[in-house]
Structure 1
Amino acid sequence: MTSEPNKLVHAGPEDGWHGVVAPASRFAPESGRYHLYIGYFCPFAHRVNLVRVLKGLDSAIDISVVKAYPKGETGWSFPGANGPDDTYEGSTPDKLFGSKYLREVYFRADKDYKGKYSVPLLWDTKEGTAVNNESIEMLRWFQTGFDEILPQGSPQRSLTLYPEHLRAKIDEVAAWVTRDLNLGVYRAGFARDQATYDKNVIPVFAALNQLEQLIRKHGGPYVLGKELTELDVLAYTTVIRFDVVYVQHFKLNLGTIRGNYPVILEWLKNLYWNVAGFRETTNFKHIKENYTKSHSDINPLAITPLGPYPDIDSGVDLNFDAIDPGVVAHPAVLEHQKTLPDV
């Protein structure tokens, strides 16, 4: 992850944007100056919006929310793109420009842009250009970039998800969580043949096995114990989608969170029900309908399953020491788990 305020922002039409909001830089922290484009369905946009809320930047950085589907050749759209009856609960118009499609915003920053029209996208209204569309970069510098506009002594200003004494461990764990879990679900889910699926489904459950052990070892309620860190954000935005989408839609059915991972389940429920920001940034309707109605090759009839029910269980047990860790004991999963760093 980078947090260099002087890094080249945009190298050209083939590149994304890599700007950093930081004091005394081109993109200085100012309330109302920046606007964030997101989709509630996207785990990568979710992680940035979540940090935005955790840091108390709700009023300083407004959001525009694209519809969950359809994506189509023109990319993600805003309500009204196909006429006045084109509405979708929870989405918003493009509050800055009234665009029909997200790609129109990208072209305002670079008329020759040839990359993906992805969320999240942070826009600078002062310079009239994109700042950043790389979620892993924003996840890091959103934690500190706006601190000077937050009240002195407030918990939001002092919040960091990358504390110095845990950085080595965060970096170590984030490497395999990102590779095998965050990205792994897509490698398996978008597999075009049996061999590719068989290969890529294994690391996902090895990572879940390891995450189960990691939370249990540190005693919860967070991945590394008593402090909320980037690891909780990285893991949450994938795990909250696991049972409701990935198990059936991406054929990740070697196990479920609620059925096979009791430690992860309590960790997940605690974040959702007890930690402000997590529930508020999670929209199950957008999540379920995006995947099931946007991937015609995977789900050609675009039918969205009713289950599982409920989307997430209520009731939280924070006595992690008393929970016996679960495991998906498929031989190939256990073998891959041996390659991961010790918890």
Structure 2
Amino acid sequence: MGRLVDGEWKSGWEYGKDADGAFKRTTTAYRNWITPDGAPGPSGEGGFAAEAARYHLYVSYACPWAHRTLIFRKLKGLEDLITVNVVHPDMLEDGWTFDTGFAGSTGDTLYGKPFMRDIYIKADSGANGHVTVPVLWDKQRETIVSNESSEIIRMFNSAFDGITGNTDDYWPEHLRDDIEPVNQRIYDTVNNGVYKAGFATTQSAYDAAVDPLFDSLDWLEERLAGKRYLMGDRITEADWRLFTTLVRFDTVYHGHFKCNRARIVDYPNLWAYTRELFQWPGVSDTVFMDHISRHYHYSHDTVNPHRIIPTGPRLDFGAPHGRGHLAAA
């Protein structure tokens, strides 16, 4: 994966190198916020006002964190306001690249750079840390607004409402106190839990990750038995944050990351729920299973040293989901 050290690229895979063999996710470095009037947000500095055609999103179709932002861009009608570039699915010695040799990879249409790291260096010539996606870029100031997906989706949720007129709210104020603990458990044990299992380099680290993962999937299966969505009859950001892991689970996490106690198709409620979210208007357009399978199986040579891309399971995300009858609990 590599990293930047004072603006210089240092290649090498670093995950799973801790003494206990556990995967430790690094924190994101850019935490500014787009707001309707450019006032400072909860973190970072101000000056990033919501404006049409000012912002650009760098993503990988393979990455679940980047996928969140593409979903919210679609749900909130921001496609004409925020442009997008897509990296190549392979993340090798040079990290994410703008190679256009894989269908759907767009290159860097803003600056013609070859590597995602060049965007970080353009924002800060002495940049340090991992080069991750998504990146929300300000074309006017030529800098990174944010590379924290959980905050980007909240910006997309409301900052541009005055421009688009789309006031759909996936983080409603009256549900926030209920959403936060659900988000936290899902992040720790499911979204990040699959990575902790997959990148573990000791049995104890793997066991410490995989048991909480399936405990949480069991909990979610039970929760969704009586609720259409995680918060009841209203879909929220919690659902979309979970979806990007569920839609990848059987294709890559079950086998590649050794999360093989059960598949999502083995959970009747979770599988129907995944199909419903996939069928939400516009969402299927953000799912690129070829990028997903290619990235995980080809990029992670410490997990799959021969880089064999499996055929994958046959999953019918378009099958009827039958969840319309469920009322709020």
Q: TM-score, normalised by structure 1?
A: 0.83
Tell me the residue number matched to 1:189: 198
Tell me the residue number matched to 1:172: 181
Structure 1 residue 301 and structure 2 residue 300: aligned? Answer: no
Structure 1 residue 77 and structure 2 residue 89: aligned? Answer: no
Following superposition, the deviation at residue 75 of structure 1 comes to 1.1
Change (3 A) 1:39 1:311: farther
Query: What per-residue deviation string (whole Å, max 9, x for no partner) do you get for residues 42-61 of structure 1?
Result: 00000111111100001100
Query: What per-residue deviation string (whole Å, max 9, x for no partner) do you get for residues 246-287 of structure 1?
Result: 00000100001102x1001111111112x1132111110001
Query: What per-residue deviation string (whole Å, max 9, x for no partner) do you get for residues 96-136 of structure 1?
Result: 00111000011000011011111000111111111111111
Q: Is the 8 A contact 2:28 2:147 kept in 1?
A: no
Q: Secondary structure at the match of 2:181?
A: helix
Tell me the residue number matched to 2:157: 143
Structure 2 counterpart of 1:262, from 256, 264, 268: 268
- Name the CA distance, whole Å, in 1 between partners of 2:28 and 2:215: 33
Q: Secondary structure at the match of 1:249?
A: coil
Tell me the residue number matched to 2:14: none
Tell me the residue number matched to 1:112: 126
Structure 2 counterpart of 1:316, from 302, 316, 321: 321
- Name the CA distance, whole Å, in 1 between partners of 2:291 and 2:28: 28
Tell me the residue number matched to 1:340: none
Sequence identity percentage: 38
Change (3 A) 1:312 1:303: farther
Tell me the residue number matched to 1:202: 211
Q: Is the 8 A contact 2:31 2:145 kept in 1?
A: yes
Q: Secondary structure at the match of 1:279?
A: helix
Describe how 1:239-254 pairs up with structure 2 within 5 A: 239-254=246-261
Following superposition, the deviation at residue 23 of structure 1 comes to 2.1
Q: Secondary structure at the match of 1:240?
A: helix
Runs of 4+ in 1 over 3 A off after TM superposition: 12-15, 319-322
Residue ranges of structure 2 left out of the alignment (5+ in a row):
1-5, 8-26, 39-46
Following superposition, the deviation at residue 319 of structure 1 comes to 5.6
Q: Is the 8 A contact 1:240 1:268 kept in 2?
A: yes
Query: What per-residue deviation string (whole Å, max 9, x for no partner) do you get for residues 61-83 of structure 1?
Result: 010000001x2232100125xxx
Q: Is the 8 A contact 2:28 2:148 kept in 1?
A: no
Q: Secondary structure at the match of 1:142?
A: helix
Letter in 2 for 1:270: E
Change (3 A) 1:171 1:116: same
Q: Secondary structure at the match of 1:37?
A: strand
Letter in 2 for 1:277: G
- Name the CA distance, whole Å, in 2 between partners of 1:31 and 1:229: 25
Query: What per-residue deviation string (whole Å, max 9, x for no partner) do you get for residues 178-223 of structure 1?
Result: 11111111111100011211121001111111111112232x1x22
- Name the CA distance, whole Å, in 2 between partners of 1:194 and 1:15: 28
Q: CA RMSD in A?
A: 1.9
Following superposition, the deviation at residue 241 of structure 1 comes to 0.6
Residue ranges of structure 1 left out of the alignment (5+ in a row):
1-11, 81-86, 152-156, 323-342
Q: Secondary structure at the match of 2:218?
A: helix
Following superposition, the deviation at residue 309 of structure 1 comes to 0.9
Count of aligned pairs between the two proteins? 296
Structure 1 residue 285 and structure 2 residue 290: aligned? Answer: yes
Q: TM-score, normalised by structure 2?
A: 0.86
Letter in 1 for 2:261: L
- Name the CA distance, whole Å, in 2 between partners of 1:209 and 1:266: 15
Letter in 1 for 2:168: L
Q: Secondary structure at the match of 2:157?
A: coil
Structure 1 residue 97 and structure 2 residue 99: aligned? Answer: no
